[in-house]
């Protein structure tokens, strides 16, 4: 039976990927950071667990040894992916890894975005080595905005990007499904790079999709891109957004907004990130604020999935159904 190593197995893509591979009868080995994440991975169907920091070559060596395939995705807060990729190539070659799927990013050639150029460097490195490789380039995740779920539930959609910036997006669960397809039939996908994009949408349009799903108004508003390093400026923007929403804000929804205000300063666990990782995030949001992010080739994802990808409206309806459990909003 095939054994596939999944790094970042408790992450946004990792969890549905572990579930999807397990459902296909694949033996999943999960690499996670701690025991709490190990418990999640086991519940998702991983039968083998490795705990540790992927930047540690000894941890990677133990994780890769005996694996047939590997799905590698580095967390956003890791700002230098090069050494990890070099170790994967060295160890994968030594241990006979037969297929590597690298989780890259849409348009890695955008030089203004450090996160993208890191991915481009790894892609170039992988092109020079012998392990059979497939590259997936996902667009901006639909799920990113769920970091502000309590605000959305209350009728507001804050984010450190203009509400009119055109963003190419994709559902994380579709990314995981595509990855499972690729890992389950490596011979069909080795040497190929796939764009994983669904549609282009503005945040005003996202807010409309959630308003339709929730049955009450949702107003998008812009936080400053520097919100993660300047919480005073972010607080002012939040208060302004709340003030604009007051005419339609019911007491019940106001409770959700207050919860959102309490949770917002540590959205995505950003307090634990290094200063450079925070600065890279600010650069990313500043770029998106001005330029948005274009989609890639829209034919790749439906071909991999053999179905239409999840639209943003479908995503909004699904998340409301999951999170609200049929109660009135």
Strands 99-103 and 27-32: unpaired
User: Which tokens hold the place of 279?
Assistant: 């600065």
| Residue-wise pLDDT tens digits, 158-182 | 999 999 999 999 999 999 999 999 9
Residue ranges in the chain assigned as alpha helix (H)? 14-23, 35-44, 57-64, 82-95, 114-126, 149-154, 172-184, 203-214, 231-245, 251-263, 275-291, 300-305, 312-324
Choice among 58-72, 119-133, 201-215, 229-243 with the minimum mean pLDDT? 229-243
- Edge-to-edge order in the sheet of strand 140-141: 140-141, 167-170, 199-201
In the structure encoding, which two tokens stand for residue 186, read together? Answer: 């490596």
With beta carbons less than 8 A apart as the criterion, state whether 194 and 123 touch: no
pLDDT at 277: 81
- Start-to-end C-alpha separation, the chain: 47
How far is Cα 153 from Cα 210, in angstroms, rounded to an integer?
Answer: 9
Q: For 172-230, what is each residue's pLDDT tens digit?
A: 999 999 999 999 999 999 999 999 999 999 999 999 999 999 999 999 999 888 877 66
Q: What local confidence, expressed as pLDDT, does residue 329 receive?
A: 39
Q: What is the pLDDT of residue 234?
A: 60
pLDDT tens, position by position, 94-107: 999 999 999 999 99
pLDDT of 224: 84
Reference 126, options 81, 184, 65, 96; nearest CA is 81
Helix pair 14-23, 35-44: axis angle to 10 deg: 40
Distance (Å, rounded) from C-alpha 294 to C-alpha 166?
Answer: 7
Cβ partners under 8 Å of residue 67, min gap 6: 3, 4, 5, 29, 95, 97
pTM: 0.92
Which residue shows structure tokens 């170039």?
A: 124
Residue with tokens 């389950």: 184
Determine which helix (DSSP H) or strand (DSSP E) holds 6, and give its type and residue range. Answer: strand 3-6
Domains for the chain: give ranges and CATH numbers: 3-142+168-196 (3.40.50.720)
Q: Which of 34-38, 164-168, 242-246 has the lowest mean pLDDT?
A: 242-246
| Nearest alpha carbon to residue 163 among 214, 206, 210 | 206
Secondary structure of the chain: what % helix, strand, coil (to 5)? Answer: 50, 15, 30
């Amino acid at each position: 039976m095939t054994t596939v190593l999944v790094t970042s197995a408790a992450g946004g893509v990792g969890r549905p990927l572990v579930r999807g591979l397990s459902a296909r009868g694949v033996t999943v080995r999960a690499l996670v950071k701690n025991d709490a994440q190990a418990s999640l991975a086991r519940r998702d169907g991983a039968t083998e667990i490795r705990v540790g920091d992927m930047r540690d070559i000894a941890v990677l060596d133990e994780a890769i040894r005996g694996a047939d395939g590997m799905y590698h995705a580095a967390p956003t807060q890791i700002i230098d992916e090069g050494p990890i990729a070099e170790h994967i190539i060295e160890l994968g070659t030594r241990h006979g890894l037969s297929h590597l799927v690298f989780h890259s990013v849409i348009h890695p050639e955008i030089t203004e975005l450090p996160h993208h150029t890191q991915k481009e460097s790894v892609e170039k490195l992988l092109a020079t080595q012998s392990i059979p490789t497939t590259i997936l380039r996902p667009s901006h995740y639909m799920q990113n905005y769920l970091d502000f779920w309590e605000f959305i539930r209350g009728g507001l959609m804050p984010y450190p990007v203009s509400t009119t910036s055109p963003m190419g997006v994709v559902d994380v669960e579709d990314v995981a499904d595509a990855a499972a397809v690729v890992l389950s039939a490596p011979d069909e996908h080795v040497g190929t790079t796939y764009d994983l994009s669904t549609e282009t949408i503005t945040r005003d349009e996202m807010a409309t999709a959630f308003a339709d799903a929730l049955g009450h108004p949702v107003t998008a508003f812009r936080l400053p891109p520097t919100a993660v390093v300047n919480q005073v400026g972010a607080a002012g923007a939040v208060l302004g957004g709340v003030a604009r929403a007051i005419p339609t804000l019911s007491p019940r929804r106001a409770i959700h907004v207050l919860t959102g205000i309490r949770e917002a300063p540590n959205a995505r666990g950003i307090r634990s990130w290094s200063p450079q990782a925070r600065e890279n995030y600010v650069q990313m949001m500043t770029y998106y604020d001005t330029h948005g992010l274009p989609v890639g080739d829209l034919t790749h994802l439906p071909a991999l999935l053999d179905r239409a990808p999840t639209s943003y409206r479908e995503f909004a309806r699904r998340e409301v159904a999951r999170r609200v459990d049929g109660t009135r909003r």
